[in-house]
Structure formats: C-alpha cells, structure tokens
C-alpha cells in the first residue's frame, strides 16, 4: 500500500502529495527525518516531486529519495545527486551506441522551489538543503499554522491553465479561439488555442503548431508555451506581424491526466504520449526509449493529437519540453532538437531547415545533448515532429528550457525560440 500523506500528531506536522500536480509516496518518519519517495515512471523520469507541508512553529527535516522500485528494476537512478549515470547515446559517426557517464544532477545549479499557501514560487536558499549521498535533504522552519509547498519544478496545474485559457479567449476573442480536440483517458479536455490576426485571412496563412506537456513534469516547456500565448496577444508590433502572416495553434498540455496526477512521464494508462506517434501511423520505432514496448498500443492522447495535426499540416512545429539539471557544466543545460534532413522529401524544406538550424544554433543555446539524438532519423520515428516532417515536410523542432532560469525565463525563452525560427523562415523566403 502506498501512502501519499503523513500526519505526526506529536508535532502537528502534516506532509502530503494529495493535490493537483502532487508527487510523493510512502511518506514516513525515519528517526528525526520525514522521508518521501518520488513516484517515478522510468529511470530518466523520476526527478519530479511536489509535496505540501503543514505545521506549527516546527523545524522539519525532509529527505526526498528516488523511487526504490525504479532504482531496483533498472539499477540506475540517473537524475539523482551522487549518482553516476550510464546513458546510451546514438553516435551517427560510429553508427552504433556509445556509453557516456554523466553526473546528471548539479546541486548548485538545480534549485528546490517553495511557495507559501496562496503565494508565488521562489527558490529555496541553498543552505536549506543538501544533495550529497544520493538523496535531497531539506530543512524548513514553519510558522504557526503555515502551509508551504516544496517541488523540484514550478508546476502549472491543468485547472489553472484551463481557467487562464478561457480568460484569454474572453479578452481576445477577436484574434483567438479556444476549442477542445478531444478528451484524455480520464475525460479531461485537450485544449487547443488558435490565434490569427484579421489581416490577410486565415486561408492564406501558413499554420504554426506549438505544443508542450506530453511529459507532464517538464513544466519549463508548459511555461514557455504560456509565454508565447501571452506575447502573441500582447499587441507588440512583432506579435501582430506574426499573427498577420501566420495562424498559430497551441496545445499547452498534451497530457492532462499526467499533469493532474503528478506523473513524471506517463498518462493515466502508464503510456508515454511522446513516444506513441510512430505506432499511431503504423511505423515501428527502434530507439532505446521504445525498446520492450513494441506490443503496447499507442497512447490515447497521441491518436487525438495526430488526427488534429494531420488536418492542419503545419509549416512549422515546435514541441517544448524541459530540464532542471546540468550536464558537464553547461550553464544552463538546455537547447533544441531537430531532425535529420534526410527525413524531408522536399529539397526546398531541406534548404530552409539548414537556415533554421543555423539560426537556432547561433541565437539560442543551440542544440542540446539529447537533441543531437534527433540526427539519427530511424531513431526518432516515435516522435510527432518526425512524423510531421516525414509526412508533410513540416519544419520540426523541439526545445527544452531549463527550470533554473525561472518561470519568467522559461516564458521569455519560448518567445525567443519562436522568433528565431520565424526569422529563419523569413531569411529563407527572401533568398
């Protein structure tokens, strides 16, 4: 039996993950510490926790530990402090797999976030937590009847996003519409926001598709898409130009159930939405992420999203994900992923891709370490971007902001990435 709440009557201390976006299980007291296990989904998706702590003028010592089941099943827990990670990466030059050891958790650069009930999120002072020994040890002092939340990311709950999207539609109904393209496994709406200026008519505009939230714990990507939406309705001159020349579609949360239940990677049926698109179109993926899942059906949400995407056949697609860690001292570790130009069948789109690649390399943080995996065309069949590129010659990119730059930083990064890619398209068009 899993316990996602704990109440210490002697100290009037309550610790829980029983709320939207909450993550933490088997919450117990061990000695003078409270112990919380992360409820992970796989070795590379178990670094998200979010708990609520209530007490009365007490100092609490809380130890966050990786999911023991995942650590046991896979013999690695690679996003955790003190763990050396073995990650198989595809080397196009060697045409095989290479083994790289990564110290995946940078304790100085990966903050813990906290907020008081009803307040905003802030970084916890570094002296308040310790990441040595393979766990995260946090010390906090609560005021009387105070409630705080502790998290490894700044979450954006589905209910909050849904309310905000409806408000945006009400205020800016002249340039955008909010629709549902279908329901998740548990019946939640998968929201689609369509945005276009009144100039030139929508029929003449190339469609842009942006998305995030397929991996529910990757909140930097969700904040990035929210930032793009805010910018496009801001009245800024460049934003107006974008909407006058393109129609922009946004799905901010592709996996609503995963968001609400605090999952790291999966949907309500234990499936990865991101790795389902090859199966949706009947194409087998041979990448390391899909190994062992050949007999599983595609994620329910992936089928709904693909049905929408193939209707609009986007000219440009950008899928936002997110990180909180640092590799090899990169500050911050983040960046783009693109797809092998051999996936394209249109020579003009290949030429455009080369320009966009150059722009993204020189005007953002460039290609991320894992983004380089996308260079192997047969290894990315499962991704929506690959399938859009292969079937419709869509210029497809992924970008992963890092939570360490904060909510405002992630929102600005989303706008920056969109502007850079559109600038690349304009450079191509002016040739």
- Please indicate, yes or no, whether residues 132 and 210 belong to a single structural domain of this protein: no
> What digits encode the pLDDT tens for the residues 326-366?
554 445 578 888 888 889 999 999 999 999 999 999 999 88
- Please indicate, yes or no, whether residues 133 and 217 belong to a single structural domain of this protein: no
pLDDT of residue 219: 98
- Please indicate, yes or no, whether residues 124 and 221 belong to a single structural domain of this protein: no
Residue 259 has pLDDT above 60, yes or no: yes
Residue 79 has pLDDT above 70, yes or no: no
**Token duo for residue 204:** 């003449």
- Please indicate, yes or no, whether residues 139 and 65 belong to a single structural domain of this protein: yes
pTM, rounded to two decimals:
0.90
The DSSP line for 242-276 is HHHHEEEEEES-S-HHHHHTT-SS--TTS--GGG-
Domain that holds residue 142: 5-74+109-151
- Please indicate, yes or no, whether residues 237 and 146 belong to a single structural domain of this protein: no
116 inside domain: yes
- Please indicate, yes or no, whether residues 368 and 424 belong to a single structural domain of this protein: yes
Number of domains in the chain: 2
The pLDDT-based confidence of 248 (bands split at 50, 70, 90) is very high
90 inside domain: no
CB neighbours of 101 closer than 8 A, spacing ≥ 6?
84, 85, 86
Q: What is the mean pLDDT of residues 421-427?
A: 98
Residue 137, domain CATH: 2.60.40.3120
Final residue belonging to a domain, choices 124, 151, 178? 151
The pLDDT-based confidence of 88 (bands split at 50, 70, 90) is very low
The pLDDT-based confidence of 288 (bands split at 50, 70, 90) is low
Torsion region of 182: left, alpha or beta (phi above 0 gives left; psi -120 to 50 gives alpha)? left
pLDDT of residue 157: 98
> What digits encode the pLDDT tens for the residues 372-390?
555 544 557 889 999 999 9
- 222 phi, psi to nearest 5 deg: -65, -40
Least confident of 18-32, 76-90, 353-367: 76-90
From first CA to last CA, the distance across the chain in angstroms is: 64
pLDDT of residue 77: 34
Final residue belonging to a domain, choices 119, 151, 183? 151
81 inside domain: no
- Please indicate, yes or no, whether residues 138 and 191 belong to a single structural domain of this protein: no
- Please indicate, yes or no, whether residues 119 and 207 belong to a single structural domain of this protein: no
- Please indicate, yes or no, whether residues 25 and 167 belong to a single structural domain of this protein: no
Least confident of 16-20, 53-57, 388-392: 53-57
pLDDT of residue 266: 96
SS3 362: helix
Query: Which DSSP state fits 109?
Result: T
pLDDT of residue 322: 93
Higher pLDDT, 418 or 9: 418
Nearest in space to 262 (alpha carbons), one of 325, 324, 322, 219: 219
Mean confidence (pLDDT) of the chain: 84
102 inside domain: no
CA distance readout (Å), 103 to 87, 368, 370: 11, 16, 15
- Contact in structure between 252 and 229 (CB atoms under 8 Å): yes
CA distance readout (Å), 319 to 204, 224, 234, 384, 401: 24, 10, 22, 9, 11
Rg (CA), the chain: 22
311 inside domain: yes
Residue 359, domain CATH: 3.40.630.10
89 inside domain: no
Residue 187 has pLDDT above 70, yes or no: yes
Q: What is the mean pLDDT of residues 18-42?
A: 90
Least confident of 9-18, 182-191, 230-239, 327-336: 327-336
Residue 118 has pLDDT above 50, yes or no: yes
- Please indicate, yes or no, whether residues 132 and 28 belong to a single structural domain of this protein: yes
> What digits encode the pLDDT tens for the residues 128-172?
988 777 788 999 888 888 899 999 999 999 999 999 999 999 999
Residue 423 has pLDDT above 80, yes or no: yes
pLDDT of residue 428: 97
Q: What is the mean pLDDT of residues 116-132?
A: 90
pLDDT of residue 429: 95
The pLDDT-based confidence of 427 (bands split at 50, 70, 90) is very high
């Amino acid at each position: 039996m899993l316990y996602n709440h704990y109440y210490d009557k002697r100290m009037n201390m309550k610790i829980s993950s029983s709320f939207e976006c909450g993550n933490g299980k088997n919450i117990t007291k061990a000695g003078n510490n409270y112990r919380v296990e992360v409820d992970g989904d796989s070795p590379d998706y178990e670094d998200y926790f979010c708990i609520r702590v209530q007490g009365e003028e007490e100092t609490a010592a809380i130890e966050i530990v990786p999911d023991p089941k995942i650590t046991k099943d896979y013999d690695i827990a690679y996003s955790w402090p003190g763990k050396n990670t073995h990650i198989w990466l595809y080397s196009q030059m060697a045409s095989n797999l290479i083994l790289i050891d990564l110290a995946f958790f940078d304790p100085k650069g990966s903050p813990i976030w906290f907020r008081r009930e009803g307040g905003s999120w802030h970084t916890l002072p570094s002296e308040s937590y310790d990441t040595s020994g393979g766990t995260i040890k946090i010390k906090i002092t609560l005021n009387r009847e105070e409630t705080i939340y502790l998290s490894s990311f700044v979450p954006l709950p589905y209910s909050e996003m849904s309310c905000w999207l409806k408000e945006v539609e009400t205020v800016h109904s002249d340039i955008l519409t909010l629709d549902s393209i279908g329901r998740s496994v548990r019946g939640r709406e998968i929201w689609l926001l369509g945005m276009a200026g009144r100039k030139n008519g929508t029929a003449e505009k190339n469609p842009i598709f942006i998305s995030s939230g397929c991996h529910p714990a990757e909140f930097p990507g969700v904040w990035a898409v929210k930032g793009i939406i805010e910018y496009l309705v801001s009245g800024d001159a460049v934003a107006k130009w974008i909407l006058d020349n393109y129609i922009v579609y946004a799905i901010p949360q592709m996996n609503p159930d995963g968001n609400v239940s605090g999952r790291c990677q999966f949907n309500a049926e234990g499936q990865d939405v991101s790795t389902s698109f090859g199966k949706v179109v009947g194409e087998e993926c041979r990448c390391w992420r899909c190994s062992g899942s050949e007999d599983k059906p595609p994620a329910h949400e992936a089928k709904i999203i693909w049905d929408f995407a193939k209707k609009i056949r986007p000219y440009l697609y950008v899928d936002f994900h997110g990180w909180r860690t640092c590799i090899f001292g990169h500050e911050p570790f983040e960046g783009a992923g693109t797809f092998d130009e051999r996936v394209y069948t249109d020579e003009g789109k290949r030429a455009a891709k080369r320009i966009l690649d150059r722009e993204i390399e020189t005007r953002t943080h460039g290609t991320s370490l894992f983004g380089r995996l996308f260079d192997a065309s047969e290894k990315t069949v499962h991704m929506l971007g690959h399938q859009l590129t292969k079937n419709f010659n869509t210029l497809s990119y992924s970008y992963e902001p890092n939570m360490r730059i904060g909510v405002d930083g992630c929102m600005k990064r989303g706008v920056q990435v969109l502007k850079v890619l559109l600038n690349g398209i304009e450079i191509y068009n002016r040739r």
